[in-house]
Amino acid sequence: MSAPPSLKTPATAVAVSRRSVATPRATGLRGACAPPTRRLRCSASAAVAGASTEMADAPLDWAERSLEELHSLPDHDTFCLMALSPLDGRYDRFVKELMPFFSEFGLIRYRVLIEIKWLLKLSQIPEITEVPQFSKEAQSLLNAIIENFCIDDAKEVKKIEKVTNHDVKAVEYFLKQRCSSNPEIAKVSEFFHFGCTSEDINNLSHALALKEGVNKVMFPAMIDLCRAMCSLATQNSGYPMLARTHGQPASPTTVGKEMANFAARLSDIGKSFSEVKILGKFAGAVGNYNADVVAYPEVDWPKVAEEFVRSLGLQFNPYVTQIEPHDYISKLFNLFTQFNNVLTDFDRDMWSYISLGYFKQIPKAGEVGSSTMPHKINPIDFENSDGNLCQANSILSGISMKLPISRLQRDLTDSTVLRNLGMGLGHSLLAYKATMRGISKVQLNESRLAEDLEQTWEVLAEPIQTVRHLFPSVHFPLNSVLVAVSKCLLCVHQTCIMLLLLLIVGDAKIWDT
């Protein structure tokens, strides 16, 4: 996607270029639709003017470790049965990869990370003599808190929150307690939250969750989906199919070309993700560095804030109030909504093709298609995807419309909405995986395709009419007409063409009837 830090390094996003998915017009050759390279990431890399890439390229071992902890809990099955959201219950196994980033645990961990990184940043500013450079031992202790943060640590923060009734303050107290045994850090522990409003910590936490969660989980699923569509296009590029405009028999097409259309559309949207910059602010209570300037007027605080935000692999937004205005989240979610709309179109077309018998579904051993009709194999995966895309888009659209609106310099309406970022993405991920399952189960029904073409030879009226109107008074030799018409009808059976051409040549008055 592109250079400014938003989601990550330059990439072709979710797929392939139009050139790589277009089925050749005249050849019908397989292999005409190249699968996309597996490069993820939007434009949230830290590759800006020498910014540090420490956070941008940090390993995500902690995410996998947190999932292992979660699923090792003895009451996990009970929790899934009682979960209010089906994402955390019935569909837990399909969306669990998002949990480390968008759960309460993930938010707490990101807050801990921001507070610690900020204290380390303050220790590097010479003018702030109260926070001298930390020893290697102290730095190791602080970094270990981040690297080893676990569910038990998050539970400890929640215990403190029950007393403070403030989630960000609870993180600050947790860090003070955790570092109390180290005199060097304990001496300056009041600086964990120096000059910060809670939103300084929160906006960066949500930005990192989006950056890492989308790059790590969402984009790979979207790319796999486009790769599957490309495979459908290449594998079926040579098979003719009756098109059905308005649901009625229309001029023939090919299966591969129709699949390539969807791959190209999704690819186009995928490229646009690179234009979304994942932004962060760190400018205090109303965005003016008021407390910072009063305490240390000689420090260039806007420069310090920009360096700090960029060190996390995010783009810096200098034009803020108490909050970062969230416009970038709206842009990001609008793209997901658009991607989901195209996928909905694909799901419904596949449903129709299955209904027409153009695709057969491969039964899986042990599965039951209907509780009462054993012969049925329903297109449940495409239907599941369709439903979840609808649910996802209702959430994503609601969030994208709400977040940019905040009364004056700040109201709290965004706080509860931001906790639902994972909901819209979760239903999207669930849909992507369902469509993938659906694609893996379908098999082209060549005999049904051929049968439909054989029974609807009237669709040749379009090219025949075109030739007749161009040359109304000329009787063409059979071979000449055959060549002219076949150029327009590469995907139509030769026997049908021959039959119609014999009728035309034999009786020019056929057009008068």
Q: CA of 256: how far to CAs of 176, 267, 342, 393, 436, in Å?
A: 61, 16, 17, 28, 17
Give the β-pairing of 359-361 and 442-444.
antiparallel
Residue 438's H or E segment, with its range, is helix 421-441
What lies within 8 Å, CB to CB, of 156 at 6+ separation is: 174
CB burial class (10 A; 0-12, 13-18, 19+) of residue 355? exposed
Q: Tell me how far apart the alpha carbons of residues 251 and 492 are, in angstroms, rounded to a whole number.
A: 9
Task: Establish whether 205 is a catalytic residue.
Answer: no
Candidates 202, 155, 122, 103; CA nearest to 425 is: 103
Active-site position among 72, 181, 246, 473:
246
| Catalytic residue (choose from 140, 370, 394, 447) | 370
Tell me, letter by letter, the H, E, C secondary structure of 130-160. Answer: CCCCCCHHHHHHHHHHHHCCCHHHHHHHHHH
Half-sphere exposure (Cβ direction) of 217: Cα atoms closer than 13 Å:
26
Instruction: Write the DSSP symbol of residue 440.
Output: H
Catalytic (active site) residue 370: yes
Task: Report how far apart the first and last C-alpha atoms of the chain are (Å, whole number).
Answer: 59
How do the residues of the chain divide into helix, strand and coil, expressed in percent and rounded to 5?
60, 5, 35
Give the active site residues: 246, 370
